[in-house]
Structure 1
Amino acid sequence: MPTQPDEPYYVMYDDDFGLSGLAGRSGAALPLAGGEVEGDEQVGEDARRLLESSLSDGMIRTLWLAADGERSDPAARGSTVRSWLGGWSQAYPAPPPKPAKRFVKYRSTMFVEPSRPVLVEEEMRDAVLAEIGAVEADLERAVPLPEVVPVLRRAVVEAGPDLGFRLLLRILKTYSVRVDKARYDRFIELSEPFEYCFTVVHGGLAVDWPPIDPARRDNDWDFGLSELSGRFAHWYDGTADEALRQVAGADGVRESPGTGAAVLLDDVTRLLASPLSTETLTTLWLAASDCGYRPERFGLGIRQWLERIAEVCRERLRETAPAYRPEPASVPVRADLAEDVLRELRGLEGELASRTIQPHGQGVPGADAARALEQVVVQVDPDLGFRLFLRVLLALWMPLTQERYGRFRALGERFGYGEFHVSLVDQFIQNDL
């Protein structure tokens, strides 16, 4: 079993880290003997892993130069690679063990602490070695240093799959080796047990992205207009345009650049082309956004607001995916699921009618929200209706039974939602005790 840090890497680092992160920053990588250098605790740990291995000085130097793009060579300043690594090890000595940070998630009256993944050394090692083998020919063509692939394999086996995987990613980025979407997805999947921030994988990696397809569901979380409405439910900083641009530019880690704008544009296009009245559209937006943003207070009618959303999405797509040509309502409507969504909506009609969204202000009666949602499901798109329904339940703090939540999860799977999409309402599941 490889040693795991006291806290997940994604808590400690929001970008690449350790020796692989140092190689990515380069230029500040050598002068340990003569001044302070930007680094982190993992640099010292990575250095110790290599020092404890049987890799020769030449092998370690090759590995570093490949990761660094031959920009900074420890041997060029009269140092040996091992003394250079020793300097890093001394600068960042192994810290004493500390209790893992407690992460809690509120669910009714219970506190649930998520478990961390269990790393199996042999499985992770074999998985990283398999990925190295898959890109071996590309690495040999791109990297002008001899024996890089055999040395990288040795590093995985002797210094650990964590460091080996990060160095593989760094070398691919340094030499702009392109990977296809399927391999990129495997890299993301492989990174999850290591608990990396996803930037460790996708930051700077050259990916051959497929064309944008708003019908693809590669996002683990909410998306489109329902995601935007959720952002405005907790809107405190910046202008509405800034919040809108953030959502339009927020592609999921597995999504082709521009997808976030494309799915949002598709939702808005459907609503603008629908027979829904202005009053219904207004009710829908206010209910889903928890009354967090009222367009009329900024001189906008609801249709003008939806047009503004569409305009920002088109701007984003022109910048990010100029070849993309959005088609009106390009995602097929899942009409076969309309009755299932309506059944869940009508099953909560009584509860919805007894509640008001933001009751202490100009709130939205739950019954009005339910009618607006039903019109979306029937006249526009059951998928969009279900996503907005979840947002309304969130705004109303609606209690849910385990059985109902299970049906929501099943519906989400049939719509192709990601792992955490429906779980945005799981905090309201009632205990059976």
Structure 2
Amino acid sequence: MPQDRSTYVELGYSGDFGLTALAEHLCSPDRPTVDLPTALAVAAGSADGSDGEEAVELGEDARRLLDGPLPDEVLHTVWLTAVGRVFDPADHGLDIRAWLRSLSDLSVNRLRQNRRSYVPPPVRPVRDADLCREVVAEIRGMAADLAGACASPDLVSGLEQVVALADADVGFRLFLRALKACSVRVPKERYDRFLGLGERLGYPVAVVRDGLDVDWPPIDTTRRDTSWDFGLSLLAGNAHQDWRAGTARREIQRVADSDEPRQSPGTAAALLLEDALRLLHSPLSDDTITTLWVAVSDAALRIDGRDWLRLVTDVCEERLRGAAPTYTPVIPPVRAEGADLVLPEVRETALTVADRAISPHWQPLPARKVTAALEQVVGRVDPDLGFRLFLRVLRPLSVLVTQGQYERYQAIGERFGYGEHHVDEIEQLVQWTA
């Protein structure tokens, strides 16, 4: 993205946009072929946003390609591939440049509905040398697969020329469209690099992820692939006072379905299921597990702890049957490694909150009972889970965290393999030293 312009995420996009969004709309299984009036109608619909921003992107994409020194054959090849060959302007008496000019004109006309004197500004192509080299390297890395799946020997060269001679942004999106339209399977490591390039270009994640055939590795719960919280502690963090027993299943589904962009489908459910199974089959009493849930959810939904965990496991298993049918959940063994790091932190905090309660004004839950339950999780179930639940109770107990404690918490998080922002979620509780 040009440095003086907002990213596409900041502009409000959640999916693809511009020329590649139009290609996606046209490339539909319901439309084996598209005539010119239909193509123009779809383009008009793509440009018809409430503030005209969609028209801005469509028009600029078209003009970036028109302004670059690209041969007509290159433009024709990449367009046909991006649209899955369902619409060829040549079949309707238009060369490719005439088609792109019609899209530019259409976008300008749409924008003039809001401002009659609107004149499109000069195009601002993305030509950062390092970025262009990286995009071209990815195109070349998929050259054999693209050429075979798309049956177009000139496609790879054409995409490279778009990146090098016109615009790295449009070129990368056309490359992604080609992979999707031709159903080319992409290795996970390369997909991760695509996400990185998309982030640098300011894309919403969906521009890369949606419709891309990724060769996902099997779910591995030791690899979280998330920068934030996960599992039962994430579910507790999402809890709020409007939760009701009748909607509890839907609230669990939201977490079970919330795979991060780099996670294999079903990973969020597998992580949540593993936490639930650890507690469900633990030696902890029913009262202790109920205490834990009420505490970490800030008393959002008072429910029998083991009944709640059974509902969690049911929802997660349902999600996994659809997203990862070969995944076999197991009851995780008790873990002790790391308990010597977590227990002192729980006990130190217990001394400072002994006179407090969670939900103090309605069915108060004494802090002493909460910290005792946390100690049992850390020592008898899993210190990783215990530490995540411990972080969750700091806010409802209004615990002030010293800078030294916070630094120790970060070190423990690194030891357990948490993402970079996981422990940061309690940063507002930290008393920073001058």
**Which segment drifts farther, 238-247 or 22-31?**
22-31
Task: Say yes or no: does 1:84 pair with 2:99.
Answer: yes
Partner residue, 1:321:
324
> Could you tell me whether the CA contact under 8 Å between 2:131 and 2:168 is conserved in 1?
yes
2:308 aligned partner: 305
Q: Which residue of 2 aligns with 1:112?
A: none
Q: Give, as a single letter, the amino acid of the residue that structure 1 aligns with 2:102.
A: G
How many residues in Structure 1 have an aligned counterpart in Structure 2?
403
CA distance in 1, matches of 2:302, 2:259: 26
Output the CA distance in 2 between the equivalents of 1:64 and 1:29: 15
Alignment of 1:246-261 (within 5 A): 246-261=254-269
Equivalent residue for 2:247? 239
Does the 8 A contact of 2:395 with 2:426 survive in 1? Answer: yes
Q: Which of 279, 295, 301 does residue 287 from structure 1 map onto? A: 295
Shift of 1:179: 1.1
Residues 268 and 306, structure 1, Cα contact 8 Å, conserved in 2: yes
In structure 1, the residue corresponding to 2:46 is in which secondary structure? coil
Q: Match for residue 77 of structure 2?
A: 62
* Residue equivalent to 1:22: 22
TM-score (norm 1): 0.87
Instruction: Say whether the 8 Å CA contact 2:127–2:164 is kept in structure 1.
Output: no
Match of 2:373 in 1: 372
Alignment CA distance shift 1:56-1:207 (3 Å): same
Alignment of 1:110-125 (within 5 A): 121-125=128-132
Answer yes or no: is the 8 Å Cα contact 2:69–2:166 preserved in 1.
Answer: no
Q: Structure 1 residue 122: deviation in Å?
A: 1.4
Cα drift, residue 328 of structure 1: 1.0
Alignment of 1:346 with 2:353, yes or no, is no
Give the superposition deviation at 1:19. 1.3
Partner amino acid for 1:58? E
CA drift of 1:54 comes to 0.5
Change (3 A) 1:167 1:397: farther
Alpha-carbon separation, structure 1, partners of 2:368 and 2:432: 26
**Kindly tell me: are residues 350 and 90 of structure 1, through their superposed partners in 2, closer, same or farther at Cα, counting changes over 3 Å?**
farther
* 1:224 and 1:265 in contact (8 A); partners too: yes
Displacement, 1:404? 2.1
Instruction: Give the alignment partner of residue 43 of structure 1, picking from 50, 58, 62.
Output: 58
Deviations 1:122-159 (A, max 9, x none): 12111111111111111111112241101100111122
> How far apart are 1:120 and its partner, in Å?
8.4
**2-side partners of 1:302 and 1:43: how far apart?**
53
**Aligned equivalents of 2:380, 2:273: Cα separation in 1:** 18
Q: Which ranges in structure 1 are unaligned for 5 or more consecutive residues?
A: 96-118, 296-300
Distance 1:207 1:29 in 2: 32
RCO higher in 1 or 2 (8 Å CA, sep ≥ 6)?
1
Deviation for aligned residue 1:343: 2.0
Question: Relative to structure 1, is the Cα distance of residues 167 and 402 closer, same or farther in structure 2, using a 3 angstrom cutoff?
Answer: farther
Residue 395 of structure 1, CA deviation: 2.8
Give me the whole-angstrom Cα distance separating, in 1, the residues matched to 2:293 and 2:328: 27
Deviations 1:34-65 (A, max 9, x none): 78332312111111111110012221111111
Q: CA deviation at 1:217?
A: 1.8
Q: Secondary structure at the match of 1:394?
A: coil
Aligned-residue offset at 1:160: 2.0
Partner SS for 2:226: coil
The separation in 1 between residues aligned to 2:322 and 2:302, in whole angstroms, is 29
How far did 1:25 drift? Answer: 1.1
Q: Are the counterparts in 2 of residues 29 and 37 from structure 1 also a CA contact under 8 Å?
A: no
Report the residue type matching 1:292 in the other structure: A
On the 8 A contact 1:357/1:364 being kept in 2, the answer is yes
Residues 56-104 of structure 1 deviation map (CA, whole Å, 9 limit, x = unaligned): 2221111111111111122222223222222322333599xxxxxxxxx
1:160 aligns to 2:167 (yes or no): yes
Aligned AA (2:253): R
Residue 33 and residue 329 in structure 1: after superposition, are their counterparts in 2 closer, same or farther (change >3 A)?
closer
% of aligned pairs identical? 47
Deviation of the 1:4 alpha carbon? 4.3
Ranges in structure 2 where 5+ consecutive residues have no aligned partner: 28-33, 48-53, 112-125
Partner of 2:429: 428
**Corresponding position of 1:263:** 271
Residue range with higher mean Cα deviation, 46-55 or 228-237: 228-237
Cα pair distance change 1:9/1:394, threshold 3 Å: farther
**Offset of 1:233 from its aligned partner?**
3.1
- How far apart, CA to CA, are the structure 1 residues paired with 2:298 and 2:353? 14
Answer whether contact 1:290 1:392 (CA < 8 A) is retained: yes
* Corresponding residue for residue 7 of structure 1: 6
RMSD: 2.4
| Range 45-54 or range 80-89, more displaced | 80-89
Q: Relative to structure 1, is the Cα distance of residues 411 and 92 closer, same or farther in structure 2, using a 3 angstrom cutoff?
A: farther
SS at 1:353's partner residue? Answer: coil
Inter-CA distance 128–361: structure 2 relative to 1 (3 Å threshold): same
Deviations 1:286-312 (A, max 9, x none): 1111111112xxxxx321111111111
Residue 346 of structure 1, CA deviation: 2.1
Q: Structure 2 counterpart of 1:127, which letter?
A: E
Which stretch of the first structure deviates more once superposed, 342-351 or 280-289? 342-351
Q: Which amino acid aligns with 1:287?
A: A
- Specify the alignment match of 1:197 in structure 2: 204
- 1:33 deviates by 5.9
Give the equivalent residue in structure 2 for 1:107.
Answer: none
Alpha-carbon distance change, 218 to 405 in structure 1, aligned in 2, over 3 angstroms: same
The change in CA–CA distance for 1:339 and 1:34 in structure 2 (over 3 A counts) is: closer
Q: What is the deviation of 1:366? A: 2.2
Q: In the alignment, what sits opposite 1:388?
A: 389
